[in-house]
Structure 1
Amino acid sequence: MIVRPAAHPRLILAVLAFCGVLVAISQTIVVPLLPELPAITHSSISDVSWLITVTLLTGAVFTPLLGRAGDMYGKRRVLLIALGSMVIGSLLCASSSNLSVLIAGRAFQGAAIAVVPLGISILRDELPPRRVIPSIAIMSSTLGVGAAFGIPAATLVVEYANWHAMFWINLGIGLLDIVLILLIVPESAVKTSGRFDILGAIGLSTFLVCLLLAVSKSSTWSTSVIVTLYAVAVAIVPLWAWYELRTTSPLVDLRVSARPAVLFTNLGALLIGFSFYANSLSTAQLVQEPTWTGYGLGKSIVVSGLCLLPGGVAMVLLSPVSARMSAARGPRFTLAVASVLMAAGYVVRFFTSHDVAGIVIGATVVSAGTAVAYSALPALIMHAVPVTETAAANGLNTLMRTVGSAICSTIVATVLAGVTITKEGRVAPALSAYLIVFVIAGIAAVIAAGLVLLIPARRSEPARVEVAAT
Structure 2
Amino acid sequence: MSVSLPSALIGPLLVFVLLDGFIQGSVVSLLPVIRDTLHTGTGPAMWITATQFLSAAVSVPVFGRLGDLHGHRRILRVALGTVTVGCLLCALAPTLGVFLAGRVLLGPLSATLPLSVGLVRDRLDTAASRRGVSLLVAALILGATAGTATAGPLASVAGGGRTVLWCLAVLAAVGLVLALTPRISETVRLASGRMDWTGAVLLGLGLTLLLGSAAQGAAHGWHSPPVLAGLLLAPVALGLWVRSSLRSSEPLVDVRAMAGRAIAPAFACGFAAGVVVLGGQGVTVAFLDAVPEEAGYGFGLPQWQIGLWIAVPALISFLTAGASAAVGRRLGYRAMLTAGFLLMAAGFGVEIVGYAVMATWYAGHLLAGVGIGLAVSGLPTVITEGSPRDRAASATAVYYNLKTAGGSIAGAAAAALFSGLLTRSTHQPSLAAYLLLWGACGVLALVSAALIRLTPRT
TM above 0.5? yes
Give the Cα–Cα distance (whole angstroms) in 2 for the partners of residues 223 and 136 of structure 1.
Answer: 42
How far, CA to CA, are the matches of 1:103 and 1:205 in structure 2?
A: 18
Q: Aligned to 2:251, what secondary structure does the other structure show?
A: coil
TM score, norm. by length of structure 1:
0.90
Q: Which residue of 1 aligns with 2:422?
A: 420
**Structure 2: distance between partners of 1:167 and 1:402:** 24
Pairing of 1:161-240 with structure 2 (within 5 A) = 161=158, 162-183=160-181, 184-221=183-220, 222-240=223-241
Matched residue, 2:91: 94
- Taking the aligned partners of 2:94 and 2:354, their CA distance within structure 1 comes to 39
Q: What SS does the aligned partner of 2:218 have?
A: coil
Further displaced range: 446-455 or 267-276: 446-455
Distance 1:279 1:145 in 2: 19
Cα distance change on mapping 1:146 and 1:345 into 2, 3 Å: farther
1:354 deviates by 4.2
Of 22-31 and 48-57, the range deviating more from structure 2: 22-31
The residue aligned with 2:124 is: 127
SS at match of 2:282: helix
For the Cα contact (< 8 Å) 2:5–2:132, is it kept in 1?
no
Alpha-carbon separation, structure 1, partners of 2:405 and 2:77: 25
2:69 and 2:191 map into 1 onto residues whose CA distance is 5
Counterpart residue type for residue 108 of structure 1: L
Contact 1:279 1:363 in 2 (8 A): no
1:110 to 107, 110, 113: 107
Distance 1:56 1:73 in 2: 25
Alignment of 1:32-431 (within 5 A): 32-161=29-158, 162-183=160-181, 184-221=183-220, 222-291=223-292, 292-354=294-356, 357-423=359-425, 427-431=427-431
Structure 2 contact 340–372 (Cα < 8 Å) conserved:
yes
Alpha-carbon spacing, 1:363–1:95, altered in 2? closer, same or farther (3 Å): farther
| Structure-1 residue corresponding to 2:451 | 451
Q: Give the aligned residue type for 1:444.
A: L
Corresponding residue number in structure 2 for 1:464: none
Deviation of 1:211 (Å):
0.9
CA distance in 2, matches of 1:142, 1:358: 29
SS in 2 for 1:248: coil
Q: CA deviation at 1:251?
A: 0.6
CA distance in 1, matches of 2:357, 2:32: 24
Deviates more, 1:352-361 or 1:271-280: 352-361
- Measured after TM superposition, the shift of residue 250 of structure 1 is 0.9
| CA offset digits 1:73-132 (Å, max 9, x no partner) | 110111122222322222222223521122222222232101001101111112244311
How far off is 1:164 after superposition?
A: 2.1
1:232 to partner: Cα distance: 1.4
CA distance in 2: counterparts of 1:271 and 1:218, whole angstroms: 21
Give the Cα separation in 1 of the matches to 2:144 and 2:352: 23
Q: In the superposition, relative to structure 1, how do residues 165 and 288 fare at CA in structure 2: closer, same or farther (>3 Å)? A: farther
Cα distance in 1 for residues equivalent to 2:332 and 2:157: 46
Q: What amino acid is aligned across from residue 398 of structure 2 in structure 1?
A: L
TM-score by length of 2: 0.92
Structure 1 runs (4+) deviating above 6 angstroms are none
Residue 35 of structure 1, CA deviation: 4.0
Unmatched segments (≥5 aa) in structure 1: 1-6, 462-470
Query: Deviation of residue 209 (structure 1)?
Result: 0.7
Contact 1:308 1:364 in 2 (8 A): no
- DSSP 3-state at the match of 2:301: coil
Contact 2:60-2:107 at 8 Å conserved across structures: no
CA positional deviation for 1:453: 2.0
Deviations 1:254-301 (A, max 9, x none): 111111222111010000111011244112222222452232433333
Specify the code of the residue in structure 1 equivalent to 2:363: I
- CA distance in structure 1 between the aligned counterparts of 2:430 and 2:329, rounded to whole angstroms: 44
Counterparts in 2 of 1:357 and 1:15: CA distance versus 1, 3 Å? farther
Report the counterpart of residue 441 of structure 1 in structure 2: 441
Query: Could you report, residue by residue, the CA deviation over 1:351-407 in whole angstroms, capped at 9, with x for unpaired residues?
Result: 344465455433332222111111111211122111111111111111111111111
* Identity score, percent: 27
Question: Aligned-pair distance for 1:331?
Answer: 1.5
RMSD value, Cα: 2.2
Listed as ranges, the gaps of 5+ residues in structure 2 are none
Match of 1:22 in 2: 19
> What amino acid sits opposite 1:227 in the alignment?
L
Cα distance in 2 for partners of 1:428, 1:147 equals 29
